[in-house]
Each structure stands twice: as C-alpha cells, then as structure tokens.
Structure 1
Amino acid sequence: MSLCEWYADRAVLLTGVTSELGRALLEKILRHLPHVTVYVVLRSRNGLSKEDRLKKIFASPGYERLRQEAPNAISRVKTFEGNLLCENLDLNAEDKASLKGISVAFHAGGPYDAVLEYCQDLPGLRSVAVASNIFKFRGKIAETTQNEKLPADLPIALVRFPLIGPAHKEPMPGFVEIFKGPTALMVGAGHAYGDSSLQAEVIPIDIAVNTMIAAAWEVGMSNAAKPVVYNAATLDCTWEELIKKSRRANWTFPYPSFGIRGMTSNALLCWILVLFFEWLPSVLSDIALALCGRKQRFLAEYDKVRNALLSLKSISSRSWSTERNRVYLLQKRLTAKEQDAFPVIVEMDIEAYVLCVAAATQKHCVNENILTLTKTIRLFFLIAPAVLVFAYIAFFNSHTRKVR
C-alpha cells in the first residue's frame, strides 16, 4: 500500500506542534494528506488559549501557501489542552476518550518519555514517529538504539536529525522563519569556527518532515513490534563547498552584518577576525548612530549572529560517522509520485538552494531599516580610506609647493 493510501482517513496525534519541526510537519500533513484529521496537544500560555496559539501558527508566513491552497484546513485540526511533561499528557478523561481512535502519532520536539508512555494506551496505534538529535552520541552512529530509553513493545520510528536548516522546496524554496546556525553560515552573516573540510551536517526542514511522515508509514506498514531507527540524510556537500556555493547569494542578498565570511579551525584566527571585522565595526556603527540620535542596532545584530553561529561550533569542528542505509531504502520504497511529493533523499543544486535561502532570510528575518543602514555604512567604510588617501596626497602636494 502506498504512503498516501495508507494515511487516507486516519486520525493522527501531533505533539510538539509549536516547535519549528512541528509547525512544518502540521503544514505538510494538511496540504498533502487532505483526508487526515490531526489532533494537537498543547497548553494555554502567555494569555493565549490553545485555540489562539493554533490560530497564531496558521497566521504565520510558513502557512501562506496552505492558506491559499486550502483555506479551511484548520477545520481538520482538533486541539486538546495538555502538558507533554505530565502523566497521560495531563489530559482530562473526556479528551483521552476522544483520542482513542489515534492510529499514528508524531512527536516533533522535546522530551518524549511521557508521550510514549501515553501512546502505549492507544489501542489502534500503528506507529509513532519520534524526532531526536543525532549529535548525542560519540563514535559510529548506527541504525540501532544507543542508550535511548524506548518502550520495547511500541512500533516506534526513531528519526535522528542533524542540524535542521531552511527549506529546500516546501512550503516555498529556501523558506526560513527562525534564524539559526545553518542559515547564518549560508547567508554569510559572520565567520564560523570549524573544520570546513568536513561534511555539512544540515538537513532542509521539508526533507526532515518528509522523513518523519515516510518513516511512520514504513513502520506502520511493516507491523514493526520494536523501535526502528532512521538516521536522516544531510546535504551532499562539505562546509567549505556550502560556503563557496553561497558567494553569489551573499552578493545578491547580503545579510546586514559585518565581517569576513567563512570558516576556520584556528581558534585564535577566528577570534581575531570576529573581533576586528565584526565586533569593532558594529561598535563604531552604534556609536555613530547614537551621535546622530538614532536607535543603536548593530551590536544587537552582532550578538544574534554570534549566538547562531556558536551552535555550529561543537558540530562543525568534528566528523560524525553515521550509518544511513535505512533512509536510502525508505526512498526506494516510495512510489515515483511520492518520491517527488515526500522525498527523504534529494540531489539539489546547492548554489540555487542557498540563493533562495538568502532571499527568504532577507524577507523574513531581516529588518529593512538595518539592511539600508548596513549598505550605507559599508559604502562609507569602502569610500572613507580612499577619501583620506586623496586628502593626504592633496595636502602633501600643497605643502610641497609652499616649501618650494
């Protein structure tokens, strides 16, 4: 049975919907699996009810395509008040009775112990896909459980992910809403620490979502009686290749920060480059803005970039030996049509991908005012030395004529 046929008319449970992966997963299910009903567990927070939080997700830029193609999709989502850290997810008796018909569960973020414990009480459960972090391990990362506490009798698809980066194609090419390490590196926001010759441990978020959906299908179809591990695929390039392929994107859609773009494994050199070419220009620019009575922006942007790139440090500075046979076999099990709709392995044009990422980053993660200011200040830094040299030559020539 094909993936789409298997999912038809099913009721699925989604936890962790407010995470980046959870939001993307909900959008994909609603847009590509039109006969699926989604049950979401989340709690009221910061004065917003569970329904308000769901509406806020639907109003976000990542749901623009869904709003256009299926404006009534939100009617297929049922919300339940709960807490993923509590026993039985802190659901009341009525809500637990409503969820008895769940046959597939997705856990998209955070601790999963309470979620898996709750899933053991779902009588019709065929599979549960759990998102996990691949960087918790040392040595070879095999396609087996490694010190992960999972119920032995649940049909679990444990999907381990590398760093999740901007979208490849869906919902829009290059789409990014949260500025993180992989995005900061691709758009040339600053200099990173790491070994650029190593594999770029990044997966586009839409490929991550597809892997979750396809893994749950395969485990459900095979009637697996114990956990199955999938180590998700990465971009087929090194960090150095990713940086080189991003040069055109950096020129076309420059990120509003200062510095020399790239990656180095020399800690002292990295510190010097960041200090003199990122931090110092940011400080001088903020001083100039303060003297003009304008809001200081550049140190805050510098901190944002450094915090994002810091998340790469422990990952890009070492190699990760990872077994990935199962995801390649999973790709082959999909029909030709589903390989196009739910690819878990993709051969992509990295340069075109990063160009779309840079454009999307400018649109969704950059304030237009700071972009204009950065262009002006960069131009000043380029012109000022030439003006000083010209002024010095003119002064020197004038002084020489007077002496004569």
Structure 2
Amino acid sequence: MSSIAAYYAGKNVLITGATGFMGKVLVEKLLRSCPKVKAIYILVRPKAGQSMQERVTNMMKCKLFDRVREDFQKKIIPIGSELMLPNLAISSEDTERLLSCINVIFHCAATIRFDEPLKHALQLNVVATQQLLVLARQMQKLDAFIHISTAYANCNRNHVEEIIYPPTVEPKKLIDSLEWMDESMIQDITPKLIGDRPNTYTYTKALAEYVVQQEGGDLNIAIIRPSIVGASWQEPFPGWIDNFNGPSGLFIAAGKGILRTMRATNNAVADLIPVDVVVNLTLAAGWHTAVHRPKVTRIYNCTTGGINPFHWGEIEYHVISTFKRNPLDQAFRRPNANITSNYLINQYWIAVSHKAPALLYDLYLRLTGQKPRMMKIFNRLHKSMMLLEYFSSKSWNWSSENMNMLMSQLSIEDKRATKHPLCLQHHSPGLHLACVYRSLTNGPQHLVFCGQPMLQVPVLFQGVQHPPTLKPRGKPHIEASPCSKRLTIHSQYLTFLNKNNHQTSRVSVKENNMTLHSNVINLHTAINYYKER
C-alpha cells in the first residue's frame, strides 16, 4: 500500500461540493485508490425539486462510479446542508457527529459562475468558507483542511507566486457593508471593488484564500489553485466530464459547426488541466499536510502552462482536425473555426458566420411550423465567449516550488499512482479535445490523439524480425480503436498499422529513445491504456 493510501486508511473525510464536477472525481478516487478509507461525509443540499437523498442516489448512478458502486453505498454518508444559511444549516445531531470523527476536510464547494452578483458570490465563496472554518476549528481529530481555490484568483498579476496576496478591502468589513446595501447600490460599487479583475468569481476566490489564512487558527491548511479544469486524462477512464462549461463547451460548439469564430490571442497560453491531475494533487496535499504539519499555509499552483504550453492559436487546428475525422451526430454544419485577436474581424465573422445563418435557420423553422431556437443558442454561445475572452487573451506565469517539493516527498509507488502536473510534459493538449469528444459520444469508434510534428519515433514491434523506425513528417496523429484494439500511426507521408490487430499487448514503445517536441502525445501512455482495456 502506498504512503498516501496508508494514511487515508481508517480515516473519516468530509467533502463539500461532492456533487460537482471535481467533487465527484475526488469521491471516486478516494474510494478506488484508498479502499480502506473508513467513511466519506458529503454535504448535500436539496436542489431542483430533488431531496438530498435523491441527489445522492442519482449521483451514485453516474458511470464514473461503476468500479466503486458497492463501496459508494457502504461508505458515503450524506449530510444535509445549505451554504447560504447560518451554520451551513447542519443539524445539531450531524454537527456533533462531524466534530467527533472528521480527520480531513476537502472544501470544493463554490459558485463558478463568472457573472454571479457580488453578494451571492461572496456568500457562497467567502462566508460559507468562514463558517466551515468555524466548524473545523472545533473538530477534535482534524489533521488537515484543504481548500480548493483557482489559479486565476490573482489574475490581476502577470506572475503569481505560491503565496496569499492581501486584498484591498478586509473581507469582514465588506460582508458587513453589503448586508445593508440594496442590489442597485451593490451593482454600482462592484466594478470599483473587483478593480482590474474580470469578474466576481476571481475576486471572491481571492478573498476566500485570505479568509482561510487569517481565520484558520491552528489548523493545518493547504490551498490548491487549479487553472482551467477539463476532462479526465487517465482516471478513472480517459475523457470523463459531466459539463461543458468554459472551453469544453466552446470545443463542442465548434465540433457541431455552431462556433465559427472566437476572439483570443494566438500566442496566449491556454492553461488546461485534467480533473484527475487536480484530484491526485489534492489527495497528495491532504496527506502531506496531515503528516508533515507545515507551520505555514501551503499554496499549490496546479497549472500546465509552464510545463507543457498549449496556445490558443493551436486550438483551431486541433478542433477542426479532431472533429473532421470524428464528426459529431446532428451537426449544424461542417466544423470550421477561426481564432483572431482583432475585435473588428471577430465581430464581422460573428455577423456573417453566426447571426446570419441563425436568422435564416430560424426563419426556416418558423415557415415549417417549428419553434425557432438557433438565435437563442448563439446568444448563449456569445455570452460564454465574452466571459472567457479575458482568459484567452492573456498569459500568466505561476511558480511551482511547492509542487516540486511535494513531488520529491512522494514514494515511487505514490508517484506512479499520482499523476501530478509534472507528469504532463508528455501530455498532449490535443488529448483534451479527444477526451471531450469521447465523453460527448459516450465512447466513439476511434479516439484520436493529436500531436505536433515529431522528429523521430522509434517503435519496436516485439516479435517482428526487422522492427521499423518511423519518421513521420507534417502533423501526425495516433488513431486507436477500443473495439479492435488496433493502433495506427498516421502522418503526411506514412501510415503504419500493427499487423496483429487483436494483440496490442505485443506492441511497446522504447520511450527513452524518443525525440519529441513538448506537445507530442506520449505514445507509451496511449499504448498502455489500450493494453489494459
């Protein structure tokens, strides 16, 4: 058993936001990789006409939990809660239970809406964190408090260190002031409060970090700052995602032929991080914080831009090539995306490629007696694009000293089981698109991994008398079929197919002999995945 799994054995864990995207992956990873964890308490509120128990039941049915469904029923303990209410609306009986047994807290709950009104965002992201800290300070057996923030909490800085930056306004004073203000007054002062940050989300997440530091008392605390969290890389299987917020939604819109233009700076880094990498880091940070008990709050910038940079200008190629080879069902039109940093050019293409076709299609729907819908779809798309524009037009540098330190503290077994961002130097950015595609189609016939030009890829087919050396040119990709377990390596001048379609286990890659650009898919990872299927 690894050191991390050994620590969580017999422990009681409390997770907020467990029904969200990252929370679900965290629950699954704990149950699968730390099978001796005693119990996982999750805070759940009634929502959309569903009771707490109904939400947990629906959560358990998710494909994500296929491998741990039996443990889910035994070890998941839901606790009724509401972050907007005093004391988180936890009953006195449940409070006593939590105070006496919880060893680790993972605080994932937050509103991630960029356009959330300030008062509501402050309540969910800051006040709820304050109240959870009050509860945590009373817990008799608490070893670690892990707070999930965002790498963009300090997006008003070009270089972000692994430290907490003090806000211009004390959170307590701000919370007290907003209590007596009406909505119109709050709207008037919001731009002045958030300053050069783009939205209330990043502003309140920065305030929450400061609150955690100031009000944590003697707790052992760590803060995780992931960048743009996307589909899973490897665990529990490649490509899992339960929403299409942010870039994932735009990628799918492009694949459907809806999105044809997007405003972004071509050389700006699109810092995408797989959700399983963030979760693995979170669990490792929980172990390190509980075992080593650092004297100061540790901040972990969980980003990939400094390790495996992927630029927004590259998205155009990846989107089009991926979805042309693997067209989505019921596409609006042929995929074709154009990324530009010029405002006027972008507005021109929005009028020509978005609004005009939408109006014509809605006219056709009206004439045929159907309800028009395309302009509504495009309006929602344009709103999403506007909210993302700030992040697609700039690049940031995040320091990663604590990440390096944590990696050095792990055993060999833990490093193998925990895919940290440092492992992403072989992670292709095109894999994010492939993962999104795989999730959308619920397992396509062919999963395509896109890469940049390779210099040389020596491949050994065991049992072949004269193993070939492949020297692809142009922009190669690897095409793997889960059904036939067939691996095909394509390039502009070369196609080489494994002759033994049903014995992919005979194929291996001499990884140490590879000479690759940083953005090329790790062939070894791809082949090993299909060996295990």
Q: What TM-score comes out, normalization by structure 2 length? A: 0.63
Q: d(CA) in 2 for partners of 1:281 and 1:20?
A: 34
Q: d(CA) in 2 for partners of 1:311 and 1:10?
A: 40
SS at match of 1:268: helix
1:170 corresponds in structure 2 to 235
1:355 corresponds in structure 2 to 434
Q: Contact conserved, 1:197 with 1:238, CA < 8 A, in 2?
A: yes
1:245 paired with 2:324, answer no
1:159 corresponds in structure 2 to 224
Q: d(CA) in 2 for partners of 1:196 and 1:184?
A: 19
Q: Contact conserved, 1:199 with 1:319, CA < 8 A, in 2?
A: yes
Structure 1 segments, 4+ long, off by >6 Å, are none
Most deviating of 101-110 and 341-350: 341-350
Offset of 1:251 from its aligned partner? 0.8
Offset of 1:200 from its aligned partner? 1.0
SS at match of 1:159: strand
Q: d(CA) in 2 for partners of 1:12 and 1:51?
A: 19
SS at match of 1:157: strand
Q: d(CA) in 2 for partners of 1:27 and 1:66?
A: 6
Q: d(CA) in 2 for partners of 1:208 and 1:314?
A: 23
Q: 1:242 to 1:219 in 2, by over 3 A?
A: farther
Most deviating of 255-264 and 334-343: 255-264
Q: d(CA) in 1 for partners of 2:315 and 2:412?
A: 29
Q: d(CA) in 2 for partners of 1:194 and 1:152?
A: 43
2:205 corresponds in structure 1 to none
Letter of the structure 1 residue corresponding to residue 411 of structure 2? T
Q: 1:319 to 1:351 in 2, by over 3 A?
A: closer
1:300-353 Cα offsets, whole Å, 9 max, x none, are: 332343333333211111221211222233234333333333212223133344
2:146 corresponds in structure 1 to 129
Root-mean-square deviation (CA), in Å? 2.3
> In the comparison of the two structures, how many residue pairs are matched?
361
1:340 corresponds in structure 2 to 416
2:278 corresponds in structure 1 to 208
The structure 1 residue matched to 2:247, chosen from 167, 174, 182, is: 182
Q: d(CA) in 2 for partners of 1:45 and 1:185?
A: 27
Q: Contact conserved, 2:145 with 2:286, CA < 8 A, in 1?
A: yes
TM alignment of 1:91-130, pairs within 5 A: 91-99=90-98, 100-110=100-110, 111=125, 112-130=129-147
2:160 corresponds in structure 1 to 141
Q: 1:41 to 1:351 in 2, by over 3 A?
A: closer
TM alignment of 1:1-400, pairs within 5 A: 2-36=3-37, 37-60=39-62, 64-99=63-98, 100-110=100-110, 111=125, 112-137=129-154, 138-139=156-157, 140-147=159-166, 148-150=210-212, 151-187=216-252, 188=254, 190=259, 191-234=261-304, 236=308, 237-254=310-327, 256-257=331-332, 260-345=336-421, 346=424, 347-363=426-442
The gaps in structure 1 that reach 5 residues or longer are 365-404
Letter of the structure 1 residue corresponding to residue 340 of structure 2? T
Q: What is the percent sequence identity of the aligned residues?
A: 24
Offset of 1:274 from its aligned partner? 1.6
Offset of 1:89 from its aligned partner? 2.6
Larger RCO, structure (CA 8 Å, separation 6 or more) = 1
SS at match of 2:369: coil
Offset of 1:298 from its aligned partner? 2.6
Q: d(CA) in 2 for partners of 1:50 and 1:33?
A: 25
Q: Contact conserved, 2:160 with 2:398, CA < 8 A, in 1?
A: yes
The gaps in structure 2 that reach 5 residues or longer are 111-124, 167-209, 444-533
Letter of the structure 2 residue corresponding to residue 175 of structure 1? W
SS at match of 1:179: coil
SS at match of 2:162: coil
SS at match of 1:220: helix
